[in-house]
Amino acid sequence: MRWVQDPSQNNVDNLNSVQREASRHFRIKKKTYLKAKIYELETYSKIKNIRDLHMASLALKRVTNLAVV
C-alpha cells in the first residue's frame, strides 16, 4: 500500500494497470457465466419460440447487471 501513499507517475501507472486487470478479469468471468446460462436456456428450455427465449436471456442479463451494481 506504500505506492498508494506516494503518488509518483510510476505508482499511478501501477495502480491503473491493477485496476484495468481486475476489471478485465471480472468482465471475462461475467461474460463466461452469461454464455453458459444462455446455452443452458437454449438447450434445456421448454420454450420453443425463439423470441420468448431471447426475451428470457435478456431478462437474465438484466438481473445479473442489477446484482453486480
Please tell me the predicted confidence (pLDDT) of residue 66: 61
Residue 64 scores a pLDDT above 60: yes
Please tell me the predicted confidence (pLDDT) of residue 48: 64
Alpha-helical (H) ranges within the chain are: 2-5, 9-44, 50-68
pTM of the model: 0.52
Q: Which residue has the higher pLDDT, 69 or 18?
A: 18
Q: Where are the domains of the chain?
A: 7-68
pLDDT digits (tens, 9 = 90+) for 14-27: 888 889 999 999 99
The CA distance from 46 to 39, in Å, is 13
Is 34 within 8 Å of 64 (Cβ atoms)? yes
In this prediction, residues 28-42 reach a mean pLDDT of: 84
Residue 29 scores a pLDDT above 80: yes
Residue type at 28 in one-letter notation? I
